Amino acid sequence: MKTIIYALFVGLISITSSQVMATSGGLHLDTVEIDITDQASLQRGAKTFVNYCLSCHQASFMRYNRMAKDLGLTDEQVKQNLMFASEKIGDTMTVAMRADDAKKWFGVTPPDLSVTSRSRGTDWLYTYLRTFYIDDAKIMGTNNLAFKDVGMPHVLWQQQGYLKNDVETGHLDTDTKGSQTTQEYNAMIADLVNFMAYIGEPSKIQRLALAKWVLLYLFVFFLVAYPMKKAFWKDIH
Ligand code: HEC
């Protein structure tokens, strides 16, 4: 019995650790600061997401009216800036393209991005969205450092321009300049990843707010409970 338990335990450990290996895959990930309470950053990220990602991907767990509330926007502002005319404020963030068309065009259906920030991690996303590079062997003309042979085109090429992979140094260098500097592009991607972290776990905002009250409650409770405990035990010591 003991050996069976031991075997199961070892098996479990190796499964989890091999998954960790698979997600990082030896690639160096750049780190990004995430703050889902920063509404200005979330608003900028939402705009990029809606303009450049929602045409192919959906975020089917996210409703527009919930997003309005969490991002500090009115329903009207969201309707005007972040939604297609045909959508209603209570709708989820679905996609214009039909799944079977997408499959035909890209060979794969673009996955739903509702929880990608959790499955891949925010550092991975930050790295992925900044490391598309020219690869003439690919139909899309680009490849990606974090996701080899990815079926997604470099959709933000206008902003970032094109990078080329220097085989000798292993670094990505600018091939064609985009409309943004590297710093501006990194900041835009950080906001986008922040937004994706938010849609991965929207109730976290409420939880963070609640946590403050819980801590305050515990503190006040302690102020009451401690003198009480002392009073109760006074005669026993
Ligand atoms: C033209 C369509 C298209 C657009 C626009 C697009 N993507 Fe993609 N994306 C894809 C396809 C197709 C895949 C699947 C690639 C594969 O599996 O090879 C993908 C994959 C991904 C993945 C990997 C998901 C995973 O865990 O495997 C992420 C993350 C992603 N896209 C994020 C984005 C973001 C963020 C944007 C907006 C800046 C965006 N995409 C815009 C088509 C698109």
CA distance 145 to 177: 19
Whether residue 133 is predicted with pLDDT greater than 50 in this model: the reply is yes
Question: Does any ligand 1 atom lie closer than 6 A to the CB of residue 79?
Answer: no
How many A from CA of 109 to the centre of ligand 1? 9
- Per-residue confidence at 36, pLDDT binned at 50, 70, 90? very high
Residue nearest to atom 41 of ligand 1 (CA): 53
Contact indicator for 42, 36 with CB cutoff of 8 Å: yes
Whether residue 10 is predicted with pLDDT greater than 60 in this model: the reply is no
Whether residue 21 is predicted with pLDDT greater than 50 in this model: the reply is no
Instruction: Give whichever of 2-6, 97-101, 132-136, 168-172 has the largest mean pLDDT.
Output: 132-136
- What is the number of residues in the chain? 237
More confident residue, 126 or 103: 126
Rounded percentage of the chain residues whose pLDDT exceeds 70:
88
Question: Does any ligand 1 atom lie closer than 6 A to the CB of residue 111?
Answer: yes
**Tokens matching residue 15:** 């499964």
Q: Over the range 179-215, which residues count as b (16 or more CB within 10 Å of their CB) and which as e?
A: ebeeeebbebbbbbbbbbbbbbebeebeeeeeeeeee
CA distance 124 to 193: 10
Which pLDDT belongs to residue 13?
53
**Tokens matching residue 25:** 């895959």
